[in-house]
Structure 1
Amino acid sequence: MPDESSHTQTRPSILESGADGNADGPPSKRRRRESEDRQRREIGLMRQNESANAPSFVGSSSGIHFVRSVYHALAKSRVRLPPATPDQNIVPGEEDQLDDAVPYSSKPIWSSDETQMIAVEPGAFDFDDLQTWSESYFENWHTAYPFVHAPTMLEYLEQHVRPDNLRRLCEQRTPQLTLLRSVMSISLADRRQSGKQSKKLIPACLVFTSFREAMESVQDMLFMPCSTEALQAVVSVQLFLVSMLRLNGASRLGGMIVRMAFQMGLHRCPTRYANFDTEQAQLRRRLFWTIYCIDRHLCQSLGLPLTIRDDDVDVCYFDQEKHATGGHHQTIMDDRLRTLNFLTKHASIKGQIVELRNKSIHLRTANRDLATLIGARIDKWANDLQYVLDAAENNEPGRFGTLHEVVLLVSQHELIISLNRPLLALEKHTPEYMAALQTCIRASNIIISSLYKYLFYRLIQRSDGPSTAPLLWPSLTWCVWMSSFIVLHAAIEGEMPKHVARNLADNSVEILRHLALRGSVWPNVCAVAINDLFLRLLLDSTVTTPQSPLMDTNHTEQQHNIDPRRNTNSNILHQDAAPRHSGNLEPLTGSSVTDNQHSLSDHAMNMLGPSLSAFEPQLSIPWLSGADAAAATSANLFEQFDIPFWMGDDQYSSLLNFDP
């Protein structure tokens, strides 16, 4: 049955064999063509854990089908590297699939030099320290998701959070305390990426010491009447879990959050009701759209059906009020809400793509007009964003922070990939496939290059100096991961020069290394997998064409001279670049090549130059210790952590025909 993996097949497509879709043809042929067209689409995965009797599902919007196709395309490589892919069928953020191996939920999150575990003495901290500890949250996260009233939050810090009142405060377990612990936990995790240090250690009772503790903190909200404070507390915990790539737990909280929001009527525009004053209406709108954006991110990342459907919502955008007296649709928007307004419209388009491309396989329709319309909405969103960016260059109001600017730029191409990647399941050489492939290549290139420049070139900056804001956004890991696989797919298909693909892969590894500083192992595992896959591709090509001309030496040297990693003092990177190869290579089968593993690796380096990433699969992970560190740096690196890809068996294995 043809599906997304059909790019490895050589049989003629339906169009080439004469089934051109003529409406006058026999009904049986039309039905057969429609059936085959339905099969050539991305599909999800149903998994069965026999030992735990816990079946689980992951949908196609997560990119699972495409990633599996890339792995299968390389499965026949004559180069055999040490096993780098797990037997488990796990997608990014599915932490509950790891509980049998590593009970993450009960493990401490912070190290001893990040929190103060002893009892807090009077005078141990003051309001200025609280502001410092929460600074990153209000600078980076509150700007994008302003679901709390910041002055009220600061007032709570000033009046209630004191050393002499801390014990009694922690015993009360109020929604305000849960919100405070979420804010402090997010900011503390941010410091791992930013490198900023605090003069004082934060008291452990002001943060979540484990993910289990974070989940348990919302239990009391189940027994309270729905209120804004209770909902804000649960949303804050969800945001913390999302920021740490704990997507299963965040998704389960999402079900509770959405029901609370519906019961409070947040899905109805507050302007329609006279009992809400301007401030209340604004806060309700901000809270709802934050819930909406996070929900869309979780649904797409895990491949789940949409929890909030657009036809159930009539909340107006911040710049388009439809329910005001007089019928005015355009409103003057607070510039501080501009980022959330763009993220809201982005989430809406993302939901439309999921409904078009990732519905149940029997309910999808190849609606090209709707796909064109969604593409037009993406273009309009991008044009509106560019208008704001251009205005900011002229010192007009409404400019974004540096982090949010690059996040929005990357999000534009994330939408493009989500819309076009499912078309790579079609037969190769069809117009739709070829157009989608080139579009995805361009979007992937822009995503990787933009994030790389943000980190190392500091091109995106304002007049007040270069930015030091780290890449905190959780969706960036998925964007880099998916972009890398698209680049790898393009290299396999011969649609991208291998040395260009390798440079992009190296840049992806550096970005993922920065993202891994936050504490999630998943970006680290992604980086190892990308290195291994590209090494397999490159070495296989050197064996297949041993007489291939060498890459221009001058071109390679120029790349090394301009590479910022060789001219920067960044503590994220190693100064010395090392070839990207690890482990022993098994003997090649069906080949006359008898060179040893070193000559193969050297030959690959001679063709494409040494890898610039200097990433080693045996790299120690600083936030792990003891048995965990030993496991993470052993050959079992992929067995215990948040793993985005696999080569496991499932019920679809009989449907995937990878033989030519």
Structure 2
Amino acid sequence: MPDATNHAVNGPTNLPSACADGIAGEPPSKRRRRESEERQQREIGLMRQGDGANVPSFVGSASGIYFVRSVYNALAKSRVHLPPQTPDQNIVPGEEDQLDEAVPYSSKSLWSPERSETANSGLSTFEFDDLQTWSESYFENWHTAYPFVHAPTILEYLEQHVRPVTLPELCKQRSPRFTIIRSIMSISLADCRQSGRMFEKLLPAFLVFTSFREAMESVQDMLFKPSSIDALQAVVSVQLFLVSMLRLNGASRLGGMIVRMAFQLGLHRCPARYAGFDREQAELRRRLFWTIYCMDRYLCQSLGLPLTIRDDDVDVCYFDDEKHEIDGRHRAAMDDRLRTLNFLTKHASIKGQIVELRNKSIHQRTANRDLATLIGARIGKWANDLQYVLDAADHDEPGQFSTLHEVVLLVSQHELIISLNRPLLALERHTPEYMAALQTCIRASDTIITTLYRYVFFRLVQRGEGPSTAPLLWPSLTWCVWMSAFIVLHAAIEGEMPKHVARHLAANSVEILRHLALRGSVWPNVCAVAINDLFLRLLLDSNVTTPQSPPVEASHVEPRNETNFQENAAPTTHRPFRDNPRLYNRFSTTSEQNDPSNHATSLIGPSPSTSEPQLSIPWLSEADAAGATSDNIFEQFDIPFWIGDDQYSSVLNFDL
């Protein structure tokens, strides 16, 4: 890929009067110079130039691309020259369009023969109980968060219409409802890679999407038919499947179709305003719209694209805050089963406000500190409301989340904090705004990495199970860990975080990403490779002698010492959980030998003392570093659809 060119498509120009008072009396030339300097100190997007094979493409600053490139550039003048392993620094997780042009939607099968039948194999017999078992993960993990379909209707369809003899004809017809079934089964089958669950019977190939191309093609007919709820649900189900596999460019393109269909159906208007919808219809329309809204916010932020759904075009009420009444109809209390979606909806709304504040066009963005403070207050209220529900659940009151959704929501809180404060890291170093934002981002990154690490690995000790039994299915977690690790690296570069602390956080983030990669997406492994390479450069560069610095004695690698590791790891591993006693009690034990941090020693090696001048790299051996090549790991690469069945597995599944 040729050198990318930055275009200041995202930057501030119009300052509000409250912020412009300080320069009102200055000469025009000086004022313009100060405005120009401030614009250069803001996060901007990236316009990639085409090279014949690839067309020009854009990724916006909301994705974090500007900050990531800044971290790369800080180490670009490193005195240590290692063969690079990292992917191109101008991409963000989920951009499958940046893979080889023949790869993103190839017809290669998604599933291993141990998981699913091939399309040419004979149809095995199955019962309704098998269909329930195959779809269980979806209804437990995804439908609870995004209930955009009516579950009883789907189960009734499975029971009455989906039989071995009818599958070929159903697949050929590509009806909206059967497309939903295939999306549900495909998501559930992908979930099993992380949970380690094996089905007694193989899934028929007709019940799943055998390739991403097949998934996209399954909704083509919706373009030629009038918009309907069934058709819209089918397209949303395919989008959710693509999002769950981090195929974000394709999911975003489907999002444009989805939003237009939603507008045509009037889903952006509160159904409680219209007497023609009964309570069940109104609830389904609201659930469907807010699912679409959450997906739109996630995709726009992850890829740095403008918001497709703007809040000032929507008047749909939250589930717990109905503002409309018709004909004296009483407002119904919120169904507790919708609590997770209600929190995700409000989270998506705040995320959109942050994008509008920090990542607008240069002609629209403003440096409005009051608005930033207000958004910070909304994040605080969202977090407090979440804590009230968690505290109530401790007393067996209604509204308890599953462990997965509880962790996702806790991480989402700190994701918002990073999104709001990270753009300020583009400001001049050592200004009050920069220093405050950096410390805030460090704290949020620490909490994200530690929360997820403990969630994945606490089962190793408490239940004697492997980490693959912890379903870490949420697509946004890859971005959260990736961005948190880069913040940790930035803090270490700036001397704002001790390197031994950054080392533990970076190592833990790599372990989390490896677990996320079990789903079959390339992006978590790519992020892990980038973190590994950059942190290696940082540590080695800090110990290269220069004429101005005396040489340091090379330290030897100490044997693993459980006590030494726990003393150094405790501040990083335990502190964030003490802020949330409920989660701390759940993910920790009173017995020292049952502490997951002890098990972590076998994963990331011993902790050096704080005075150690040179640190060992826990996840990269000397042989691995010496054997690293400069080949782009994206070159001619396709998704490792199942473990051990890809020619590039030796590159991605490095020994950590």
- TM-score for the superposition, normalised by structure 2: 0.83
Cα deviation digits, residues 464-499 of structure 1 (max 9, x gap): xx9954110000000000000000000000000000
Match of 1:443 in 2: 444
User: What letter matches 1:475 in structure 2?
Assistant: S
- Tell whether 2:340 aligns with 1:339: yes
1:39 Cα deviation from its structure 2 partner: 1.8
Q: Deviations over 1:245-278 (max 9, x none)?
A: 0000000000000000000000000000000000
Opposite residue 359 of structure 1, the aligned amino acid is: K
Partner of residue 308, structure 1:
309
2:86 is the counterpart of 1:85: yes
Q: Tell me the SS of whatever aligns to 2:37.
A: helix
The answer as to whether partners of 1:556 and 1:609 remain within 8 angstroms in 2 is: no
SS at match of 1:57: strand
> Counterparts of 2:594 and 2:279 in 1: how far apart (Å)?
49
| Offset of residue 633 of structure 1 | 3.0
User: 1:43 touches 1:60 (CA, 8 Å); kept in 2?
Assistant: yes
The answer to whether residue 132 in structure 2 is matched with residue 131 in structure 1 is yes
| 1:478 aligned partner | 479
Contact 2:272-2:325 at 8 Å conserved across structures: yes
Matches for 1:179-258 after TM superposition, within 5 Å: 179-258=180-259
Tell me how far apart the structure 1 counterparts of residues 163 and 451 of structure 2 sit (CA, whole Å). Answer: 43
Distance verdict in 2 for CA 1:187–1:636, change over 3 Å: closer
Question: Could you tell me which amino acid in structure 1 is paired with residue 301 of structure 2?
Answer: Q
- The DSSP-based 3-state class of the residue aligned with 2:144 is helix
Deviation by residue 1:539-585 (Cα, 9 ceiling, x = unmatched):
11122464389799799642546989x98999xx99955779xxxxx
1:33 shift after superposition:
1.0
Partner of 2:647: 630
Tell me: CA distance 1:105–1:25, structure 2 relative to 1, closer, same or farther (3 Å): same
Structure 1 residue 38 displacement after superposition: 1.6
Kindly tell me: are residues 60 and 237 of structure 1, through their superposed partners in 2, closer, same or farther at Cα, counting changes over 3 Å?
same
Distance 2:346 2:328 in 1: 21
Q: 1:329 to 1:517 in 2, by over 3 A?
A: farther
1:551–1:146 CA distance, 2 compared to 1 (3 A): farther
Partner of 2:563: 558
Give the aligned residue type for 1:335.
Answer: D
Matches within 5 A, 1:453-472: 453-458=454-459, 468-472=469-473
Letter of the aligned partner of 1:409 in structure 2? L
Within the alignment, does 1:354 sit opposite 2:359 as a pair?
Answer: no
SS at match of 2:478: helix
Tell me, yes or no, if the aligned pair for 2:411 and 2:451 is still in contact at 8 Å.
yes
Using the alignment, how far apart are the partners of 1:304 and 1:297 within structure 2? 10
Q: Could you tell me how far 1:160 is from its partner in structure 2?
A: 0.6
Structure 2 spans left out of the alignment, 5+ residues = 1-5, 7-19, 574-591, 634-638
Question: Could you say what secondary structure the match of 1:46 adopts?
Answer: strand
Give the Cα–Cα distance (whole angstroms) in 2 for the partners of residues 199 and 567 of structure 1: 36
* Aligned residue number for residue 13 of structure 1: none
Seen in structure 2, the aligned counterparts of structure 1 residues 88 and 467 have a Cα distance that, compared at 3 Å, is closer
**Are the equivalent residues in 1 in contact too, given 2:243–2:251 (CA < 8 A)?**
yes
Q: Following the alignment from structure 1 to structure 2, what is the Cα–Cα distance between the partners of residues 435 and 495?
A: 12
Residues 101-148 of structure 1: CA deviation (Å, up to 9, x unaligned): 635432211111111126676761111110111000000000000000
Taking structure 1 as reference, are residues 503 and 118 closer, same or farther at Cα in structure 2, changes over 3 Å only? Answer: same
Q: How many residues align?
A: 594
Task: Give the superposition deviation at 1:332.
Answer: 1.8
Offset of residue 167 of structure 1: 1.9
Q: Percent identity?
A: 74
Structure 1 distance, partners of 2:330, 2:434, is 40
Structure 1 residue 166: Cα displacement: 1.6
Deviation of the 1:90 alpha carbon = 2.4
CA contact (8 A) 1:453 1:459 kept: no
* Cα offsets for 1:166-187 (capped at 9, x unmatched): 2222222100111000000000
- Name 1:592's counterpart in structure 2: none
Match of 2:175 in 1: 174
Which residue is 2:262 aligned to?
Answer: 261
Distance of aligned partners of 1:349 and 1:146 in 2 relative to their CA distance in 1, 3 Å threshold:
same
Aligned to 2:501: 500
- 1:322·1:329 contact (CA, 8 Å) conserved in 2? no
Partner of 1:394: 395
Which position in structure 2 is the counterpart of 1:407?
A: 408
Q: Structure 2: which amino acid aligns with 1:282?
A: E
The superposition leaves residues 579-628 of structure 1 with CA deviations (integer Å, 9 ceiling, x where unpaired) of 79xxxxxxxxxxxxxxxxxxxxx9999646545557978999974699x8
Partners of 1:134 and 1:156 lie apart in 2 by 13
> Does 2:99 correspond to 1:98?
yes
Deviations 1:515-553 (A, max 9, x none): 000000110111111111111111111224643897997
Out of 408-417 and 326-335, give the one that drifted further: 326-335
Contact 1:134–1:183 (CA under 8 A) maintained in structure 2: yes
Q: Secondary structure at the match of 1:105?
A: coil
Secondary structure at 2:385 match in 1: helix
* SS of residue matched to 1:514: helix
Matches within 5 A, 1:478-627: 478-544=479-545, 546-547=551-552, 557-558=562-563, 560=565, 576-577=602-603, 607=613, 610-613=616-619, 623=641
Distance change >3 Å, CA 417–CA 216, structure 1 → 2? same
Cα distance change on mapping 1:354 and 1:103 into 2, 3 Å: closer
Residues 28-50 of structure 1: per-residue CA shift (max 9 Å, x gap) = 22222122112211111111222
What is the Cα-based RMSD across aligned positions, in Å? 3.6
The structure-2 alpha-carbon separation of the partners of 1:634 and 1:118, relative to structure 1 and needing over 3 Å to count, comes to: closer
- Residue 457 of structure 1, CA deviation: 2.0
User: Contact 2:518–2:643 (CA<8 Å) still a contact in 1?
Assistant: no
**One-letter code aligned to 2:42:** R
TM-score normalised by length of structure 1:
0.83
C-alpha change, 1:633 and 1:158, in structure 2 (3 Å) is: same
> Hey, what's the Cα distance between the residues in 1 that align with 2:329 and 2:39?
44
Whichever residue aligns with residue 453 of structure 2, its letter is Y
Aligned-pair distance for 1:400?
0.5
Q: Return 140-149 or 521-530, whichever deviates more.
A: 521-530
Indicate if the aligned counterparts of 2:195 and 2:468 stay in contact, CA closer than 8 A.
Answer: no
Whose relative contact order is higher, 1 or 2, with alpha carbons under 8 Å and at least 6 apart? 1
User: Are the equivalent residues in 1 in contact too, given 2:336–2:398 (CA < 8 A)?
Assistant: yes
CA deviation after TM superposition for structure 1 residue 341, in Å: 0.2
Contact 1:221 1:230 in 2 (8 A): yes
Kindly state the Cα deviation for residue 230 of structure 1 after the two structures are TM-superposed: 0.4
Q: Secondary structure at the match of 2:58?
A: strand
Tell me the secondary structure at the aligned position of residue 436 of structure 2: helix
Question: Is this contact kept in 1: 2:176–2:234, CA < 8 A?
Answer: yes
Q: SS of 1:629's equivalent?
A: coil
Q: Which residue of 1 aligns with 2:578?
A: none
Work out whether residues 127 and 157 of structure 1, in 8 Å CA contact, stay in contact via their aligned partners in 2. yes
**Which amino acid in structure 1 is aligned with residue 48 of structure 2?**
R
Per the alignment, residue 292 of structure 2 pairs with 291
Instruction: For residue 544 of structure 2, give the secondary structure of its aligned residue in structure 1.
Output: helix
Cα gap change, 1:261/1:72 in structure 2, threshold over 3 Å: closer, same or farther? Answer: same
In structure 1, distance between residues paired with 2:652 and 2:178? 42
Structure 2 CA distance for partners of 1:86 and 1:453, relative to 1, 3 Å:
closer
Which residue matches 1:434? 435
- Shifted more, 94-103 versus 316-325: the winner is 94-103
Amino acid at match of 2:318: Y
> What residue in structure 2 maps to residue 108 of structure 1?
109
Structure 2 equivalent of residue 383 of structure 1: 384
Q: Which amino acid aligns with 1:537?
A: L
Go from structure 1 to structure 2 and tell me whether the alpha carbon gap of 1:413 and 1:212 turns closer, same or farther (over 3 Å shift).
same
Shift of 1:164: 2.0
Flag the 1:629–1:117 CA change in 2: closer, same or farther, 3 A.
closer
Q: Which amino acid aligns with 1:286?
A: R
Q: More deviation in 91-100 or 81-90?
A: 81-90
